[in-house]
Structure 1
């Protein structure tokens, strides 16, 4: 598909195959000049890749080749298939879990960027689930530097009050019954975007467990957490009711081969009224949060 220029950046909507051949919708952002870094941006649960467009363009303007993409069953990866047929418009009957997102989609995205940009450092930006997924990847050793943004072990008891009680009620008393009834989790129930049934059900099990995904006895990919040895910075937003400092610390505790740096940022630190779980990616933070993130990703800090 033809690309379009924007702010000195070449932007191309593409697809690439997941590990099992399922086609994932993606966008590649390239600088007009020399490329100095490769950056993979990995989405939060039920958040489409378009949310990260501004940050991706900003990084590309600074000389990074950047890829954003949608996990299977979401966004532009909702219906695509390598074998030539579309998945049904409804997600009912669509088989996927969060573990699949990591093992099949994120793993393939890392491999695709590593193969395409063999001579560049590969850096990883993970928002919420995107940060959690880093520890689950069999190929996370390919990543040089990882910046986790509002990424946490999201057990409900570590969320801020009263949000924790709203989440508990929304997931168990609204989300679970609706998902069983419809065969998928509808975004209009408060999730953001529709989610495949398996994704939602696994997420609920993790959220209801004291140590989130670390308590899942069937999640064999947990063995990959200690394999990551690259630089790791986790950004905790002080007004984020989901990714609180204790929840961020719990996730980071899984990366035992290095010492993750956890940086807490309050809205006042960057002259903002609020940031929250999604606000980091608003363009108003271009000269504050984005600049600091880019400098760290590029190894200038």
Structure 2
């Protein structure tokens, strides 16, 4: 089904059967520095017409995107989901010969590492493996931010950003923005320093490497989020010249329209399309920051994004 391409190793799994009439395989591939990342490849039973890489939000494991990835594969896409280093299955030892920590204490990683080493590698792996297919990029929250930071974003023909924003606390809704600022700076940062990592039980989702959480807090606390940093990788925003559509949802307290537009403004070589969606537009009571990926949106939000990335 997959073959044995260089740099990839299969992980034994019971998921080799079909889901939504697609093939599914658990894989491992190397990040740019050789660190082993775990992913899932979803393949259509028929002809492949597009390649898609789905890039996760902060502290969110790839399993959240399983339904949407399967849907895209059913429509003829080869789809990769994967976990960033320190998250999900890219944290625990899964295969002999790969050095993955059981504990995040002392684990070195940052959000900029996720982009430069992990997202970059995922895009390269899909581009090399499916070089004859148009390559699309789905970015959820941080996954959309990473699009502007990777040096190989010129390989992507279309990017759909879902609730992706320049996540400064100032552009969140009240009172959520005050809760986020207080939690990150006065609870999360002390915990990260004391424990050596940011614990998921504090309310952030998955455990996070200390460096990831501290850089995230620094960006959230800055007026223009990551654009206020001195990252050399910021120059990569201007390299993206594909089509870009950014979805924001009226009931999302974090990725508000101003925050989404601020992120979109960084892509200076193009004119990104920003679409605001109300839950009532798709017959839903709520969507929020994560709701796009619920199966109930299969025939509305999922279909709209799928048709757009496939040029239909």
Q: Which residue of 2 aligns with 1:64?
A: 77
Mapped to 1, the partners of 2:19 and 2:173 lie a distance apart of 39
Give the superposition deviation at 1:5. 1.1
User: Is 2:261 aligned against 1:249?
Assistant: yes
User: Is 2:285 aligned against 1:267?
Assistant: no
Give the superposition deviation at 1:159. 0.4
Q: Which residue of 2 aligns with 1:51?
A: 64
Q: Which residue of 2 aligns with 1:199?
A: 212
Map 1:180-195 to 2 at 5 A. 180-195=193-208
Map 1:119-130 to 2 at 5 A. 119-130=132-143
Query: How many pairs were matched up?
Result: 299
Counterpart of 1:208 (choices 218, 221, 235) is 221
Mapped to 1, the partners of 2:164 and 2:32 lie a distance apart of 24
Aligned to 1:146, the other structure's residue is in SS state strand
Mapped to 1, the partners of 2:101 and 2:158 lie a distance apart of 38
Give the direction of change, closer, same or farther, for the CA distance of 1:82–1:6 in structure 2 (3 Å limit): closer
User: Is 2:139 aligned against 1:91?
Assistant: no
Mapped to 2, the partners of 1:294 and 1:238 lie a distance apart of 21
Map 1:133-148 to 2 at 5 A. 133-148=146-161
Give the superposition deviation at 1:87. 3.2
Q: CA RMSD in A?
A: 1.2
Q: Deviations over 1:45-70 (max 9, x none)?
A: 00010000000000000000000000
Mapped to 1, the partners of 2:223 and 2:189 lie a distance apart of 19
Large movers: runs of 4+ above 6 Å:
none
Contact 1:23 1:82 in 2 (8 A): no
Q: Which residue of 2 aligns with 1:15?
A: 28
Q: Structure 1: where are the runs of 5+ without partners?
A: none
Mapped to 1, the partners of 2:64 and 2:95 lie a distance apart of 25
TM (normalized to structure 1)? 0.97
Contact 2:93 2:101 in 1 (8 A): no
TM (normalized to structure 2)? 0.94
Contact 1:49 1:75 in 2 (8 A): yes
Give the superposition deviation at 1:85. 4.6
User: Is 2:178 aligned against 1:165?
Assistant: yes
Aligned to 2:18, the other structure's residue is in SS state strand
Contact 2:139 2:162 in 1 (8 A): yes
Aligned to 1:28, the other structure's residue is in SS state strand
User: Is 2:149 aligned against 1:117?
Assistant: no
Q: Deviations over 1:68-104 (max 9, x none)?
A: 0000000000135999253331100000000000000
Which one is further off, 174-183 or 3-12?
3-12
Q: Which residue of 2 aligns with 1:34?
A: 47
